[in-house]
């Protein structure tokens, strides 16, 4: 089997921590180049712009775009126009309209577009979805809280419009929610807490309505003493809990055995399958919920945030 050559654009923390090791572990891919103005990787050809990569390396058919969402649309559109199989780090764009437009472009060009939601590939998510498939949900609660200084140290871009603030991790919870709950949900209310010196929220409280139940979510970047990434779903057959970002699954108080490749290795496995099948996978639903939160959300001004 010949490995597909792939280039990464945006060699930041998420690329170094997750994408590059996942590519190295997948025999179907070969990291052939990077695109980064701030420097690439030792031993890997680097280009300053995507245009330079496309011109110099027509032998690279696939790209993985790992830069912040506020600047991803133009790069994705350029890659699709050049016929590149394209993978998008989450969230897939700064707006819903961008994502839908990229999906249209990819379909018209006949290339793969994979809008990834890495938390959907956590080990417990598929099993949770299967268990809930025939259950009646009575209540749902999400708590997704972490320390922004730990997970986004010195990353001022995350506080700018289009880069989501606390919804950057919160959208991971929403991606799991929309994967495991197979009934329609819509946002009915939100409170968004903005530090007085920042343009994006540091915390958010959301309420959703489902058929016969209410779902609540609390996202917070001011968490100290360890992360809380959990979803609890109460049903007439018992309570399901996903903790540690979906890695562990409990039914009532009994932990279930789950298996998986890990989030990012499974993303690249899925990307390989999509390329082989000439298919696309673009789901904007988690981003729609975030957009609705900004539309409906009551804005609260809280104390300033400083590193």
- Residues with catalytic function: 90
Q: What is the dihedral of CA 188, 90, 162, 11, to 10 degrees?
A: 160
Other CB atoms within a 10 A radius of the CB of residue 199 amount to 12
Structure tokens at 115: 């809008």
Three-state SS letters, 276-302: HHCCCECCCHHHHHHHHHHHHCEEEEE
Half-sphere CA count of 107, side-chain side, radius 13 A: 8
46: part of which helix (H) or strand (E)? strand 45-47
- State the DSSP string of 206-268: EEEEETTEEEEEEEESB--SS-EEEEEEEETTEEEEEEGGGTEEEETTEEEP---S-HHHHHH
Determine the Cα–Cα distance for residues 202 and 194; give it in Å rounded to an integer: 6
Yes or no: say if 275 and 62 are a contact pair by the CB < 8 Å rule. Answer: yes
Structure tokens at 179: 């994967």
Q: Would you call 105 exposed, middle or buried from its count of C-beta atoms within 10 A (0-12, 13-18, 19+)?
A: middle
């Amino acid at each position: 089997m010949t490995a597909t050559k792939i280039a990464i654009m945006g060699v930041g923390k998420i690329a170094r921590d997750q994408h590059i090791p996942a590519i190295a572990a997948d025999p179907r891919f070969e990291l052939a180049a990077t695109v980064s103005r701030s420097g690439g990787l030792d031993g890997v050809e680097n280009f300053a712009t995507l245009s330079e990569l496309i011109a110099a390396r027509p032998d690279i058919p696939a790209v993985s775009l790992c830069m912040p969402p506020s600047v991803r649309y133009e790069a994705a559109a350029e890659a699709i126009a050049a016929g590149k199989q394209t993978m998008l780090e989450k969230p897939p764009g700064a707006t819903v309209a961008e994502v839908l437009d990229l999906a249209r472009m990819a379909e018209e060009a006949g290339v793969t577009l994979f809008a990834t939601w890495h938390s959907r590939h956590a080990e417990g998510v598929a099993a949770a979805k299967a268990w809930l498939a025939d259950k009646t949900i009575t209540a749902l609660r999400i708590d997704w809280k972490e320390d922004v200084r730990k997970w986004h140290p010195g990353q001022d871009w995350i506080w700018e419009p289009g880069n989501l603030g606390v919804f950057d991790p919160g959208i991971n919870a929403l991606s799991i929610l929309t994967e495991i709950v197979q009934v329609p949900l819509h946002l009915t209310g939100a409170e968004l807490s903005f530090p007085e010196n920042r343009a994006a929220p540091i915390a958010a409280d959301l309420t959703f309505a489902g058929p016969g139940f209410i779902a609540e979510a609390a996202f917070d970047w001011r968490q100290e003493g360890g992360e809380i990434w959990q979803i609890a779903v109460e049903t007439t057959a018992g309570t399901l809990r996903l903790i540690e970002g979906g890695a562990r699954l409990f039914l009532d108080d009994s932990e279930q055995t789950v298996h998986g490749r890990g989030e990012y290795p499974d993303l690249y496995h899925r990307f390989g399958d999509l390329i082989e099948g000439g298919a696309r996978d673009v789901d904007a639903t988690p981003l729609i919920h975030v957009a609705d939160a900004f539309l409906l959300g009551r804005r609260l001004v809280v104390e300033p945030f400083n590193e």
